[in-house]
Each structure stands twice: as C-alpha cells, then as structure tokens.
Chain A
Amino acid sequence: MPERVRAIVESGEKDKCKQLAALGLSDQEISVAEHISPTKPSVFPVVDGDQLARVMENPAHVLINDPVVRESLSCTPSAFGDAYNKGLSVQRLSMTTEADVEAFGRGRAKEREKEYLGFVTCAAVELRNARRQSTLPRLLSVFATPLDGLDAHADVCVHQKPGRLDKEYLKFFFWDVFKGRDFVLRILEERDAANQQMA
C-alpha cells in the first residue's frame, strides 16, 4: 500500500489527492508512505522539522484592474481552496534558499502571465497535524516530490475525501498555518511605502 501511495504522489496527475482519498488510508499507513524515499537518490523524505515555502501569485489572467478585487482572488483563505484537488506545491527550505525560492516564483509567474507576490512558510509538522477535530484522522500529508531541476519540491496532499466543512476548514487552516493575514499586511505596507516613494 505505501508503494501505491508513492506512485500516486509521484504521478504528477492533477487529481492525485482524489486518488489518495479513494485509498482510505489510516494515519499509520500515510505516515509510512511519507517516509519512503523518493526514487531520486539524492533526495530524502520530508521530516517534520522541514520549513516549507509556498509561492503566492495574483491571477493576471483576470481582466480586472481593481487591485482589491485581484487580491481577493489570491491573498485570501480561498487561495488555498484548490488544495483538496491538486494538493499544494511547496519547496523545502532545507534544500534551497529563500533567494532561489524568490527567483523560482518570479520566473514561474512570468511564464504563467501572473504577478509574483512573495512566499509564505510553515513547518511540515504543522501540516501533518491538521485535523478537523482531534479525534478525527489526519487530513494532510507531505511528500518529497523532486522535479527536474528542483530537488526541493514537495507536495502537500489532502488524503481524506473532504466534505464542505472540511474544505472550508482547510481554507482557514492553510491561511492560519501559513500566516496569510501577516503576509497580506506586509504586502500592503510594502505597497504603501512604494507609493509614498513614488509620490
């Protein structure tokens, strides 16, 4: 079973979280799967203490110039709303640098015609401890999923089938654990400072 989990996670398919959820894994099974080494020999499983960085973008495809509206589409709890389908791509700061994460984020945003906003961080153990209630199973798993040219890549997967309450809870959970409020306040401060300089 853990090997099957590994295969799903490494498949890169967009619905990998749904495939994981269909397996109905216990906490113990998912923990075993998380600690299986990736096929790339130089990369080790994600440990609880790993700091994970998540790049934040504005969807520039949206033809709305109002910055408040654009931010509502990216700098809110709903920005994590697709996690239960696709999972979240993150990078392990133990295997890269903040400067490299920035460079990656800017490059990818340019390719996708989006605006790079910055990145947020949290520890892997905080994600692994996510539960809607303390008596319920874990909701999230974290796997090392190195990509070509990006050994630090990891995936945060929702491996339980979420109902509406789970989905809305996960939006809040990610917003909280990645300190989304502080991130938005920082962006606003930087923009105010930049506007004052221009003035």
Chain B
Amino acid sequence: MSVVAALNPSFTESSSDCSTRLINLFELLHQPLVSILERVASVDRSICASVVVPFTPSVAGYVGVLDERFCEISEGEFISREYSLRAYQVIEQYRALEDGWDGDQALAPTIERLDAAETFLRMLVSNIDVCPEVGAMLDEEGVPGLFWDTGRAYFSVSFYDACDLVCVYCNRETAERDLFEADLFKPEEVAQVLEYIESLQ
C-alpha cells in the first residue's frame, strides 16, 4: 500500500509552494510513508487507508487538518494527471508478471520496485501539473522504469530497489547529457529528478 498527499483545493498558495511542502513532508518524516502507514494500520485497521502525521507548518495545506496537532492524508484524495494514467495502468499490470514473461529468462519485477515506481508517479503528479506523457517500461532483469522522449529531449528513471533510482537525461539539440543516481526518500535528490522532467515541456 502506498500513500499520497493531496492538496486542499481551497489552499491558495502557489503550486511551487505546495511542491516544496510535499518534499518537506517526506523530509520531516525521515522514513518512507509506507512504513508509517503499516505501523498505523497494525494498530487501527479502520484507518489503514490513510496516515496521521504530526502537524507542522510545512504540512499545512493538506486535506483534512484534524486539529492543530495532526492532519490526515488520505489515499482517497489522490490527484491524477492525464499524462500519468497509462503508466499507472501498465505498472499495475506488471504485478501479474512471472519469471519467464518473455518466453526466455526474464525476471518478474519485485513488489518493492513496482511500489517505488508508483510512489514516484504519485510524487510526480503531486508536483507537476503538465508534462509530456510518461511511458512505462520493464527490462529482462525485472527493473521497471519510466521514460519520456519528446524528440528534442529524453529522460528516464529506473527503479532498482525500494529507493534506488537511476536516471538518464539527454538533450539532443544541445548534446547535454546527465547520468545520475538518486534516493527516492531524499527530497533534494527527488527534486533534481523532477526538475529534469519539468524541463521536458
């Protein structure tokens, strides 16, 4: 199960401020939201679809502020973007694959890798309103990935583990190229990944 943070539609701050707050949310928690959710769900299954996090000014603006101490982030408040819908569908379908899916020795993707891909997609749609349609892909070692190719530029992010991202950027017009790794749960590294995706527009 993964968790998304939703924006309060009545919140009037700019989307970039909300993006910063989303990244700060992960930073202040210092650990994957999924693990927090699991701990909460183990105590009270009636709230297994949401997570309660300590309230600080950096999480203000999220849906359902309960009181001055806590706000609730609910999976039902998920923001979807058209550019990501197909990739979501494909990543979900990958969960049904088994070893040998190519008729040879291809490995099925692990749950951790697919969860990482979905978590990243949700971070993406929470931060970027508009971008080219994202494609999903899977290699024979069971590494899922997302990629964009506008003709002018290319960007891919592949999910090697629960938090290990490997990214490739190339601008065909300027010949600029960047290859780097990032940690899904380090906000400053995710921000760099999102910057490249925003530049594709």
Interface residues of A (CB under 8 A from B): 59-62, 64, 66, 68-69, 72-73, 76-79, 81-82, 85, 112-114, 132, 164-165, 167-169, 171-172, 175-176, 180-181
Question: Looking at chain A's contact residues, is the secondary structure mostly helix, strand, loop, or mixed?
Answer: helix
Given known A-B contacts A59-B103, A114-B103, A169-B179, A81 and B156 have beta carbons under 8 A apart: no
The minimal Cβ–Cβ distance linking B1 to chain A, given in whole angstroms, is 22
Contact partner, A171, options B90, B139, B180, Cβ 8 Å: B139
Residue B135 is within 8 A (CB to CB) of chain A in the complex: yes
Residue B66 CB within 8 A of the other chain: no
Given the known interface contacts A64-B96, A72-B137, A72-B138, the answer about A181 and B166 at a Cβ–Cβ threshold of 8 Å is no
Quick one: which of B138, B143, B154 contacts A73, CB cutoff 8 A? B138
Measured CB to CB, the closest approach of chain A to B116, in angstroms, equals 14
Partner of A82, one of B139, B158, B179: B139
Given contacts A78-B138, A176-B154, contact A69 B90 (CB under 8 A): yes
**Alpha-carbon distance A79/B170, docked complex (angstroms):** 19
CB contacts (< 8 Å) of B12 on chain A: these are: none
- B-side contacts of A72, CB under 8 Å: 90, 135-138
Instruction: List the one stretch of B2-10, B37-45, B144-152 in contact with chain A.
Output: B144-152
- B112 interface contact, C-beta 8 A: no
A168 to chain B, nearest CB (A): 5
